[in-house]
């Protein structure tokens, strides 16, 4: 799952550009998710979810006919991880989030930074220019980098990889841990696994689960196993 942010100051055409990028990505056969940065509260105090919040709920989730939203302190990485595991989208287009380390299209020249792949006048782009922009998005955007600094991508660390992607020097390279078969997180921190531990965990956990009668619960094959240990 790759991430592209469209960032800019007010009234610079961000939403229009986001919708054009979504349409072009969908036209190319990709499954797309979006995430909008909201500066205002979604909840009026007299709404149902507003009342939940006022009553003291830390996190309120609203699931509507078409849109899932949360109110409360949820880190963007957590939301992106949810999108990745729940919906398996190919691209997430962010609207806003100008200070985050994802590949970025800027609609305001003064917001250009080290993650900007292109600055555009969003209100003047024609269709061909949007297509070229989406070519760039395909080549230069990247997903959630786990910061393992494992060098499997051929770069010395994750920061080098990210900057090479943004600058177009790693168009055919992806973060290798993105597709790793075994991932371990402890207290939300990703922990790198050496081959011995990785294979040991996989074989031990799979072996134990096979001894359980998972077929009685309708599970014949294991595509993905999640195990949570709370202390």
**Positions 42 through 71 that interact with ligand SF4 (CB under 6 A):** none
Integer Cα distance of 77 and 80 in angstroms: 5
> Nearest Cα to 76, choosing from 103, 57, 101?
101
Residue 33 vs 143, nearer CB to ligand SF4: 143
CB of residue 177 vs ligand SF4: minimum separation in angstroms?
Answer: 4
Say if CB 170 and CB 164 are below 8 A apart. Answer: yes
Q: Using the CB atoms, write b or e for 64-96: b if 16+ within 10 Å.
A: eeeeeebbeeeebeebbeebbeeeebbbbbbbb
Residues facing residue 36 across a β-bridge = 95
Asked if 175 touches ligand SF4 (CB under 6 A), the answer is yes
Q: Measured from the CB of residue 92, what is the shortest distance to ligand SF4 in angstroms?
A: 18
Binding-site string for ligand SF4 from residue 137 to residue 166, where x marks contact by CB under 6 A and - marks none: --------xx-xxxxxx-x-xx--x-----
Q: Which is nearer to ligand SF4, 45 or 186 (CB)?
A: 186
- Contact status: 108 vs ligand SF4 (CB under 6 A): no
Tell me which residues touch ligand SF4 (CB under 6 A). 145-146, 148-153, 155, 157-158, 161, 175-177
């Amino acid at each position: 799952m790759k991430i592209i942010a469209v960032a800019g100051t007010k009234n610079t055409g961000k939403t229009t550009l986001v919708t054009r990028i979504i349409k072009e990505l969908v036209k190319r056969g990709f499954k797309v998710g979006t995430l909008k940065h909201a500066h205002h509260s979604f909840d009026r105090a007299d709404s149902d979810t507003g009342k939940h919040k006022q009553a003291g709920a830390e996190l309120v989730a609203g699931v509507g006919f078409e849109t899932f939203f949360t109110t409360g302190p949820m880190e963007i990485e957590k939301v992106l991880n949810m999108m990745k595991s729940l919906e398996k989208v190919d691209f997430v287009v962010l609207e806003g989030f100008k200070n985050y380390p994802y590949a970025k299209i800027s609609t305001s020249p003064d917001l250009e930074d080290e993650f900007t792949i292109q600055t555009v006048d969003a209100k003047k782009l024609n269709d061909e220019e949007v297509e070229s922009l989406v070519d760039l998005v395909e080549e230069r955007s990247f997903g959630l980098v786990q910061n393992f600094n494992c060098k499997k991508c051929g770069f010395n660390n994750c920061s080098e990889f990210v900057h090479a992607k943004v600058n177009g020097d790693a168009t055919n390279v992806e973060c290798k841990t993105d597709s790793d078969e075994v991932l371990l997180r402890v207290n939300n921190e990703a922990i790198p696994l050496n081959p011995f531990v990785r294979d040991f965990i996989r074989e031990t956990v799979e072996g134990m689960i096979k001894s359980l009668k998972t077929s009685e619960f309708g599970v014949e094959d294991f595509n993905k196993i999640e195990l949570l240990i709370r202390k």
